[in-house]
Chain A
Amino acid sequence: MARPADTIAALATPAGTSALAVVRVSGPDTARLAAAVGGATPLPRAVRRGRYRDRAGAAVDEVLFTFFAGPRSYTGEDALEISSHGSPFIAQRILADLFARGCRPAEPGEFTQRAFLNGRMDLSQAEAVMDVISARGDRALAAAQQLLAGALGRHLGPLTDALLAALARIEAYIDFPDEDLPPEDRGLVRAAIRALQADTQRLLATRRYGELLRDGVKTVIIGEPNVGKSSLLNRLVGHERALVSAEPGTTRDFIEERIIVGPHCLRLIDTAGLNAAPQALEQQGIAKTRERLAEADLRLLVLEAARPTLPRTLAWPDDFSPANTLVVLNKADLAPAAKPPPALADFPFVAVSALTGAGLPALTAAISDQADRLRPADEAEGIFINARHADALSRAAAGLADAQRQLEDGGPVELLASDLRGALAAFGEIAGRIDNERMLDRLFAEFCIGK
């Protein structure tokens, strides 16, 4: 049944930049390879200095070998790390040699995938690592690392305890009706549920920002034809990505590029100009632009500095607000002291010239500020949940809301308990199964049971 896995290799350090290059190898053939390239059978977890010899027997470089015997390795398989001096050329020669010896280049994230499959990390850790791998921007990396450190699990600890305590208060009266218990206090349960609802909502609210961090801030550039939207995109991206011409209506389709601005990753989307008197075909285009706008986290509304008027085809004010829109007065080289129109007086704005590059640092700073504002005010220690967490937490929130309703309506207590148990199970999907014993522990600690 066990399909023999192949042995994979890849550069573990970013290409070209560091002083040290680490090549990582993992798989069943690792021990043999290590002996072949290093000239000696490796001892687990001992760092050994030696020469890397390629298949022709030539010494490639003086390197450090570290061998990890499975399952006590990152991937759970036999693994080898080869640290060479920083030259990208040397690392490339080592990799090429390893591939020639039968290793396969590792896919992105494949080491982590193996670690997960071999039980070296649990699901949420693996997810977080995958986030790190695909993380763009410093802040996304920090969020992913937080999750990896089990921050979410730790954060859910007290919530789970509070929920167990509330449940124990109810279960005691169901399971021990003949006992001499203190009068039932539903007020305590109500307060606990309310607090739990707030905590759950707070965590749920981090989802959007979490997604922004992982997927990038969706930033849509809009404006009338020929105001310089594509020129602006090219400026921000740093190369000629979009076609630019003096003719209005140059851009017909959406163009998307990823850029890093400050600590954020942006998905920059250039759109077709919003024509004042659109033709039938253009009207379809405008409808599509509207759709993009609705999904956008941030809008760059480009106006021409010389005549800064609102695009007439936009159903103003639509859902534009100073929180989600940055006004860009382009072609400032032609009209240096321009101001946005009175309707946009409250909106943040920058004057730039896509042609000369003037005002660009101010623009990126303003974009970064806007992106910062998307961060939830009341965040939970840098935790940003992912879709799977959000799914479980929404079910927990639904359970708590149902429980709240049962309390208000004075519904049957076993239904109230059922709702709370639903919420508890949902927490358990994230932080690990919660055994009923824990509820019983609370119950017997709290109430003197046993007539």
Chain B
Amino acid sequence: MDFNRTPFDVIVCGAGHAGAEAALAAARMGASTLLLTGNIDTIAQMSCNPAIGGQAKGQMVREIDALGGEMAINTDVTGIQFRLLNESKGPAVQSPRAQCDKKAYQFRLKHTLELQPHLQIFQATVTGLIFSGGAVIGCETNLDLKVYGRTVIVTTGTFLRGLMHIGQNKNEGGRLGDFSSKTLSASFLDIGIELNRLKTGTPPRLLGRSLDFSKMREQKGDASPTLFAFHDTRDSEDLFHVEHTGEQRLGWAPGTRQISCWMTHTTDQTAAIVRSNLSKSAMYSGEISGVGPRYCPSIEDKFVRFADKPRHLLFLEPEGLSTNEYYVNGLSTSLPFDVQVDMVHSVPGLENCVLLRPAYAVEYDFAPPTQLYPSLESKKAENLFFAGQINGTSGYEEAAAQGLLAGVNAVQKGRGEPPLIIARHEAYMGVLVDDLVTKGTTEPYRMFTSRAEHRLLFNHASAEIRLRDHAARHGLISRSRLMRVDDKIQRINHWLAHLESHRDHGVLLGDQVRRGGEPPAFPEAFLKESIEVRQQVLYRVNYKGYIDREERQIERLGHIEKVRIPTGLDFMAVRGLRRESALKLAAFRPYTLGQASRISGINPTDISLLQILIEAGRGGAAADEGAGPN
């Protein structure tokens, strides 16, 4: 153990999807990083369904890739089914989704972490944090070993006082087979971090050879898969920072090993079983206090809240190539195990199936994310960052996105540099963080495209372009990749200008594209461009009117997003500011006027008053580079 290197620049507690990205981002920026996990064998485990991407999440995975994260490439090379969702709709709302080989996904990511320079992984459970003068300085572990760090990132998922329910049966733990972290919650409460309860659930896992697929509908992957990573996964140049170790990591050429999912449905009998056993459900018997997600209801909820819907769709998703285990998407429940067995057997194709793991609901502590700055640093303790489910989110992608940002920002903080803050109009990642730290959440927060007011600009293929400047500024992608992105941007801009200024038979090429019908007489050179370049150009030309409108809006409202609220501002002394607003703002400490304007109960007059004050008093302090929340 090289703990003599302490203090580390960054200590990451937890190696789930958030922790893994956080550790990689920090180490790749050159910071000495320690990743602590309670169990090295469950790194980046998919505790729920073995799939990555989908609506809004797929776009976010590509954004993670654009910022040098690992999730996209890891999904591509361990994917066993790829589908592009919403293919019939416009490019802005198309999303890639993939089933992954659960174990391959974990093993490859573990291997990547192991090979990462500047990163050290160690198996130990964090039992508490060490504070000094209002700042975190390290962690205590179950091994009576203390480690010290300039910054600490907490990514403990559902493990904080995790409690699992199967009917009346209760087990402590953040995930079936894993432990529950109890003392860490106390450590947070001690320094004034408020905690709340949330709940989520997972369906049973079934043995594949006991299923009758002939009674189900097959869902195949796309013949030509849409991948997540922007770069060629076989090109070693792109395997940022790990490329030169020469070790062969697990994985296969993307799309070469696709297998199917299967669709079936509940029956009247399923409904009857659920209804007659409702009182035994942990959720319906009042055992659970946490709030569950509306978008992922238990089967109990579905039959109760949508009583007139006779049947519900179920998907059987394979957990991998080297296992016969299947995940039943749509059958999350907290009913007792014997009821689960009856219920599963009432489904066509599952009449004789064998359950490998029961369904369960899990309750856990989360730290309401309004206690964070947009850098994901705690307002309550300096140098302490939070990412992932502990912030009240759900989903691997949401976790990974936060992890990456927390990793970058912990390094920036340690170096006294400004944080990476992505604006709402730049990426889903920006919407995610702003929603969390500004509005908070009362259910496990999942990204939807509808949450992004500028989603028309967020087509998945443009992530690399949208986030280019952030990636470059923080050195998150290799030089060669940055050069390729710049070349792509330049080509796109060239062709956009060309199509909007050249005519064929008197008609502007751009207008020909917008009019549809016959493909316009494109110049030969355009047709020779890569499909990525052509698609971006055509997308921007096609939607020009709408995209222009979005950009005007961003321009118009963008100003207040850049006005940084001075750290020491005394809101109570702002002339004309309502007392309620002043109190709220003083407690919240928003980062910019834009963020302040989104706090509930703050009205446009409040913002105008603050704006006048700040701009008059400080000569218009802008939030671009200089100011970090500290």
Tell me the A residues contacting B by CB distance below 8 Å. 1-3, 5, 71, 76, 116-120, 122-123, 171, 174-180, 412-415, 417-418, 421-422, 432, 435-437, 439-440, 443-444, 448-451
Contact = CB atoms under 8 A, between A and B. Distances in A.
B357 to A, nearest CB: 19
12 contacts: A1-B616, A2-B575, A5-B575, A119-B603, A177-B85, A178-B54, A418-B546, A435-B600, A436-B451, A448-B302, A450-B296, A450-B330
Contacts of A119: 576-578, 580-581, 603, 605-606
Given A174-B55, A440-B294, A415 B90 contact: yes
Contacts of A177: 55, 85-86, 89
Contacts of A5: 575
A130 B457 CA distance: 41
Interface string B296-307: 110000100110
Interface of B: 54-56, 85-86, 89-90, 92-93, 265, 293-297, 302, 305-306, 309, 312-315, 329-330, 332, 439, 448-451, 453, 455-456, 543, 546, 549, 573-581, 600, 603-606, 609, 613, 616-617
Given A5-B575, A122-B605, A450-B296, 7 more contacts: A1-B613, A119-B605, A179-B313, A435-B600, A440-B294, A444-B294, A449-B294
A449 B54 contact: no
A436 B451 CA distance: 6
A21 to B, nearest CB: 30
B450 A451 contact: no
A122 B451 contact: no
B89 A412 contact: yes
B449 A174 contact: yes
A2 B55 contact: no
Contacts of B576: 117-119
Nearest to B450: A171
B577 A3 contact: no
B302 A415 contact: no
Contact of A450 (B92, B297, B605): B297
A177 B449 CA distance: 12
Contacts of B616: 1
Contacts of A175: 55-56, 448-450
A440 B448 contact: yes
Contacts of B302: 448, 450
Given A119-B577, A180-B312, A444-B295, A413 B605 contact: no
Nearest to B617: A1
A117 B604 CA distance: 11
Contacts of B312: 180, 448, 451
A117 B546 CA distance: 36
Nearest to B298: A450
Nearest to A5: B575
A180 B315 CA distance: 11
A97 B302 CA distance: 74
Contacts of A436: 450-451, 453
Cβ-closest 6 pairs across A and B: A119-B578, A180-B313, A412-B90, A2-B575, A451-B330, A448-B306
A1 B294 contact: no
Contacts of B448: 171, 175, 440
A421 B449 CA distance: 13
B21 to A, nearest CB: 24
A450 B451 contact: no
Contacts of B613: 1
Contacts of B314: 451
A122 B90 contact: no
Given A122-B603, A414-B455, A414-B456, A448 B305 contact: yes
Contact of A2 (B456, B574, B579): B574
A436 B609 CA distance: 26
Contacts of A449: 294-295, 297
Contacts of A176: 55, 295
A118 B578 contact: yes
Nearest to B578: A119
Contacts of A448: 297, 302, 305-306, 309, 312
A374 to B, nearest CB: 33
A413 B89 contact: yes
B262 to A, nearest CB: 13
Most buried by A among B93, B314, B573, B578: B93
A113 to B, nearest CB: 10
B93 A414 contact: yes
Contact of B93 (A71, A174, A421, A450): A174
Contacts of A1: 573-575, 613, 616-617
Contacts of A179: 313
A8 to B, nearest CB: 15
Contacts of B546: 415, 418
B595 to A, nearest CB: 14
Nearest to B569: A1
A65 to B, nearest CB: 25
A71 B581 CA distance: 13
Contacts of B604: 123
A166 to B, nearest CB: 13
A76 B579 CA distance: 10
A91 B40 CA distance: 85
A258 B295 CA distance: 62
Contacts of A435: 439, 600
A177 B89 CA distance: 10
Nearest to B580: A119
A450 B295 contact: yes
Contacts of B600: 435
B578 A2 contact: no
Contacts of A116: 605
B82 to A, nearest CB: 14
Contacts of B581: 119
Contact of B575 (A3, A432, A450): A3
Contacts of A432: 603
B586 to A, nearest CB: 15
Contacts of A415: 90, 456, 543, 546
Nearest to A176: B55
Nearest to A3: B575
Contact of A174 (B86, B543, B575): B86
Nearest to A409: B516
Given A2-B574, A421-B453, A451-B330, A174 B313 contact: no
A440 B579 CA distance: 31
Contacts of A443: 450
A14 B469 CA distance: 64
A216 B314 CA distance: 66
Nearest to B451: A436
Nearest to A417: B450
A118 B581 CA distance: 11
Contacts of A2: 573-575
A437 B93 CA distance: 19
A417 B452 CA distance: 12
B163 to A, nearest CB: 22
Contacts of B305: 448
A437 to B, nearest CB: 8
Contacts of B294: 440, 444, 449-450
B538 to A, nearest CB: 13
A177 B219 CA distance: 14
Contacts of A123: 604-605
Nearest to B576: A117
Nearest to A448: B306
Contacts of B605: 116-117, 119, 122-123
A71 B456 contact: no
Contacts of A178: 54, 85, 315
B450 to A, nearest CB: 5
Contacts of B450: 171, 174-175, 417, 436, 439-440, 443
A178 B53 CA distance: 12
Nearest to B613: A1
A116 B603 CA distance: 12
Nearest to B570: A1
A177 B613 CA distance: 47
